[in-house]
Chains A and B, each alone.
Chain A
Amino acid sequence: MFLNDIKVSWRKLWLDKTTSSIHISSLAIGIVSCLLIFSWIMQQFQYDRFHEKQDRLFQVWENQYYSDGTILSVTATPGPLKKVLEEEMPDISKAVRTTWSIKKEFRNEQFTATESGIYADEDFFQVFTFPLLEGDPISVLQQPEHIVISQRMADQLFPDESAIGQSLEIINEQPFTVAGVMENITSVSTLQFDYVLPFKKFESENDWLLGWQNNGPNTWVLLKKEVDSKDVQNKLASLIKKDSRQKNTELFLQPVKDRYLYTDYENGQYAGGGRIEKVKLFGLIALLILLVSCVNFISLTTARASKRAKEVGIRKVIGASRKAIAGQFFIEAMLISFFALSIGVSLFIIFLPYFNEATNSSIVFSFLSKEVGVGLFGIFLFTLLVAGSYPSMLLSSFSPLAAIADRFQQQVGQRWLRNILVVGQFTVAMVLMAGTWIVLQQIQFMQQKELGFNQQQLLYIPINSTGLAKKYNVLKEDLLKIPAVQSVSSCNQKLNDIRYSTSGISWEGMPVEEDHLFTTIGANFDFVNTTGLVLKSGRDFSVEHRADSMNVLINEAAAKLMKMENPVGKSVYFGEEPAQIIGCVKDFHMYSLKYEITPAILYVDSDLSYVYVQVATDNLPNTLTSLEQTFNNYESTIPFEYQFADEHYSQYYQTEKMTSKLAILFSILALLLCGLGVLGLTIFSLERRIKEIGIRKVLGASTRQIVQLFLKNILQMVGLAFIIGTPIAYYFSQQWLQDFAYRIEVSWWIFPIVGIIVMIFALLTILIQSLKAAFASPIGALRKE
């Protein structure tokens, strides 16, 4: 019986190619969407979950409590914390510190390379699973002159020999000995590095790490086996307050495996946001798309029920049970689902490279993977159950009598259900389209918003590791000789990526018990002029005022916090050290627009990480060449690097841009699915009403009047979808926009325009079919009956 059903199902698909094509392509679109998204989701869940000891591995966070009620959650921890954890927390097996990613220039006798890496404590390779190809994980970081490099780096710098034991020079530092070669870091690691240097080396060069007043490195802990992390958490919370180590802070643990997905902390608590929300959102969208495609299947199958009713009746008369009939239709659904899955998988393989590019992913598809197999089976089963169940139950319920007597009529309930399904499809399409539009508007807003400084003409040139810092003044003079260079200054950070902050700042009139966090920017002379910051009062740092090396600039937010209406001339105190305020700049954005502008203090800093150059934008290639030549006059062994401030800024919104690309894709797919569904229903409706059309034409109906018969129903359904979809789209878009401190107001006209677009699409979809019917000869239709 099963083979017979397969045979019959195949013949049915073949004989009614139009309907079969609509069914299969509709399901295939849903399946390929699901496959793309679920493979992306699977990759998201792979981040940081490759460490063998991941169940015992945690990162230490710090909650900092400020007197205005703010709680700041940070991963930067004090240098002495590691030792305290190991000595005072018996449940902790090991504690390890790492620095942030630092770029260094390497060279040996033959080659040079610029690489990013970290400093890490000696237990690093025992705590984390970054396999070593050569070297002993216990001892590779024990000596301060040792270095561990990646396989890629080893191949580049020592192509013809083993790197172990070789000498490797870092520009402006001592030579190091390669003690280990590690596998290239997997793409699903949030920690990315090509070299590791011993943390004790970093500590020896940075005294501030020895005290509790400053935070910097990340601290990681490996718990002992069988230890409950909640117990450790409870004991850990107040550890840092002991012995006046740090006031107003508490420690807590985050599992390393959650680092990538669960990133948003607010007021000391996990705020429920972060990448996991994107994962959930896209998972939901993928399911919705698949559901819409299944709805198409159900809708078309039930619409054509009358064509199958006679066959069902005959089979029942001959002796088929309801179960046998339902099984037959289920097998038909299975066959269609199988073809749709095959096409969906093929499309997935074809489009995967483009999807990877759009989402900045590195998803690899392998039929041999267990996860892929389970995923494909799951999607197939979901499609089959959702698309196949209701039609099977419905079609197998037909009475043999109604079929034999040719008196089959669609029950009113079935028509209503079909209409509800179509309205649901259009609602999903409209919500996606409106949501996409709002996302694109927000991205455009973020890209075009005035940041408070001139990012289009501002270049960042890193000089941290080059030794050029000592020659800065002479370099600046040479740079200013280039005609297109308008101004030069320097800073310890990129202006739209400020990371340093400090507390412990006081001013006259500040209540004693208060403590506030200020963002700190180590700048240089001519800073305001170079960056295009706008002075509200006072003046820029200037070489003509040597005392400016002890003075500060503040922003409006800082002036407001300190309740200074005229801050120029007043003093702030870094601990006991006074600093005079020489100017107040208008607020400017120091990070992405997701965050509010914070109070900031700018000071003259001898620690130069970046030279800032303001350039005229005409003839940029020549200007860049001149800049490179000038730099090479000072340091020819290190590659010249630069970045425009606006390029750096655009990186903040990679996630949002990816969101918008995916949203556009899914909106198009949802609309396409609606179109397929409507097309199928229209074709069927035409077949069913062919006699009616013939009679109307004989009685004198015009082409327009015939076409209106079909358009009216569709217009009503689109209209209803608009009424339902608009508040849903508005609600979800408002929820998404809450992530941004600076955001657009949702424009009301988006929704009616989306509604009109969907309506036009639906009308065009059915117009050709309905015109065909309208122009057909009435005699042919009547004779057929």
Chain B
Amino acid sequence: MIKTVNLTKVYRSDEVETTALNEVNIEIKEGEFVSVMGPSGCGKSTLLNVLGMIDSPTAGDYLFNDKEVGHLSESKRSDVRKHNLGFVFQSFNLIDELTVFENVELPMLYTKVPSAERKTRVNELLEGMNIMHRRNHFPQQLSGGQQQRVAVARAIVNKPRLILADEPTGNLDSSNGDEVMKILSELNAGGTTILMVTHSQYCAEFGNRIIRMLDGKVVVENVVRQYL
């Protein structure tokens, strides 16, 4: 599904040049659950942003489903993103002015899903996440765990092929964190590919492969359990 060839990302300001990714070569197969780990500043979030097509590489290639997407324009990347990817963030990134229902529904508005279908799908997901009773509440009225479940529901509402999660349990206590990891595992068991950035070895072992980075390079890749 994902292949990078000498993927490089350099940030330049007036006086400082920072190489966040330095000729990274990775492959992620469909159905895998890959965790990316490393110390702060190693480039893992940058890798996630580039693979999530939120950012574009400075050099190198990024192939998604065998198509080069690294150098597409923002509007074309947006198109690929909304049909194929889902995102889960550490700080949830829900929109405060929208209710739980409306937050989950939002991606389907951009893919022009008809109203009746949107309603059915969102209600199903909210039931599945055990948050239906809060559908008309606003994010600031929910606990952290509830907000992250809503964020996960939003990430999967368009049935994406790949979910990118950036420290999904970073702002949660262990119980809520476990719950979120369980949801991600279930999604992966159902066939959804997951790429997760995490500091937590415990969370990383929910996946089947760990990529470790240091100073913008991949240094180690561990298989946690064989993909069947």
Contacts of A607 in B (CB 8 A): none
21 example contacts (A-B, Cβ-Cβ < 8 A) are as follows: A4-B102, A4-B109, A11-B97, A15-B97, A310-B93, A315-B110, A317-B52, A317-B54, A317-B93, A318-B82, A318-B154, A319-B107, A319-B110, A320-B110, A324-B110, A400-B54, A401-B49, A401-B54, A404-B54, A404-B93, A405-B45
Further 16 A-B residue pairs, CB within 8 A, beyond A4-B102, A11-B97, A400-B54: A8-B98, A12-B97, A15-B96, A314-B93, A316-B78, A318-B154, A319-B82, A319-B158, A321-B75, A321-B110, A322-B74, A322-B75, A399-B74, A401-B49, A405-B45, A405-B49
| CB proximity to A under 8 Å, residues B3-40 | none
Q: Does A1 contact B (CB under 8 A)?
A: yes
**A8-B97, A316-B78 as given contacts; A401 in contact with B55, CB under 8 Å:** yes
Q: How far is the CB of A522 from chain B (nearest CB, A)?
A: 81
B78→A321 contact, CB < 8 A: yes
Q: Does B130 contact A (CB under 8 A)?
A: no
Q: How far is the CB of A324 from chain B (nearest CB, A)?
A: 7
Binding site for A on B (CB under 8 A): 45, 49, 52, 54-55, 74-75, 78-79, 81-83, 87, 89, 93, 95-98, 102, 106-107, 109-111, 154, 158
Q: How far is the CA of A400 from the CA of B55 in the complex (A)?
A: 8
Residue of A1, A314, A320, A324 contacting most chain B CB atoms (<10 Å): A314
**A8-B98, A318-B82, A321-B75 as given contacts; A404 in contact with B109, CB under 8 Å:** no
Contacts of B78 in A (CB 8 A): 316, 319-321
Contacts of A12 in B (CB 8 A): 97
Q: How far is the CB of A588 from chain B (nearest CB, A)?
A: 73
Binding site for B on A (CB under 8 A): 1, 4, 8, 11-12, 15, 310-311, 314-322, 324, 399-401, 404-405
Contacts of A404 in B (CB 8 A): 49, 54, 89, 93
Which of B45, B96, B102, B107 touches A318 (beta carbons < 8 Å)?
B107
Q: How far is the CA of A12 from the CA of B96 in the complex (A)?
A: 9
Contacts of A311 in B (CB 8 A): 95
Contacts of A399 in B (CB 8 A): 74
Closest to B87 in A: A317
Contacts of B52 in A (CB 8 A): 317
Which of B81, B82, B95 touches A314 (beta carbons < 8 Å)?
B95
Closest to A318 in B: B107
Closest to B98 in A: A8
Closest to B83 in A: A319
Minimum-distance CB pairs A-B, first 8:
A319-B82, A319-B110, A11-B97, A318-B107, A401-B55, A314-B93, A401-B54, A400-B54
Closest to A5 in B: B109
Contacts of A400 in B (CB 8 A): 54
Contacts of A8 in B (CB 8 A): 97-98
Q: How far is the CB of B222 from chain A (nearest CB, A)?
A: 28
Contacts of A314 in B (CB 8 A): 93, 95
Contacts of B107 in A (CB 8 A): 318-319
Contacts of A11 in B (CB 8 A): 97
Q: How far is the CA of A122 from the CA of B45 in the complex (A)?
A: 94
Q: How far is the CB of A747 from chain B (nearest CB, A)?
A: 50
Q: How far is the CA of A231 from the CA of B82 in the complex (A)?
A: 71
Which of A15, A310, A318, A405 touches B110 (beta carbons < 8 Å)?
A318
Q: How far is the CA of A104 from the CA of B197 in the complex (A)?
A: 99
Q: How far is the CA of A311 from the CA of B110 in the complex (A)?
A: 15
Contacts of B154 in A (CB 8 A): 318
A318→B106 contact, CB < 8 A: yes
Q: How far is the CA of A311 from the CA of B95 in the complex (A)?
A: 6
Contacts of A319 in B (CB 8 A): 78-79, 81-83, 107, 110-111, 158
Residue of A4, A316, A401, A404 contacting most chain B CB atoms (<10 Å): A404
Closest to A1 in B: B109
Q: How far is the CA of A320 from the CA of B110 in the complex (A)?
A: 6
Q: How far is the CB of B100 from chain A (nearest CB, A)?
A: 14
Q: How far is the CA of A420 from the CA of B187 in the complex (A)?
A: 53
B93→A315 contact, CB < 8 A: no
Residue of A317, A318, A324 contacting most chain B CB atoms (<10 Å): A318
Q: How far is the CB of A250 from chain B (nearest CB, A)?
A: 69
Contacts of A4 in B (CB 8 A): 102, 109
Contacts of B54 in A (CB 8 A): 317, 400-401, 404
Contacts of B45 in A (CB 8 A): 405
Contacts of A321 in B (CB 8 A): 75, 78, 110
Q: How far is the CB of A772 from chain B (nearest CB, A)?
A: 24
Q: How far is the CA of A320 from the CA of B79 in the complex (A)?
A: 9
Q: How far is the CA of A318 from the CA of B164 in the complex (A)?
A: 12
Contacts of A315 in B (CB 8 A): 95, 106, 110
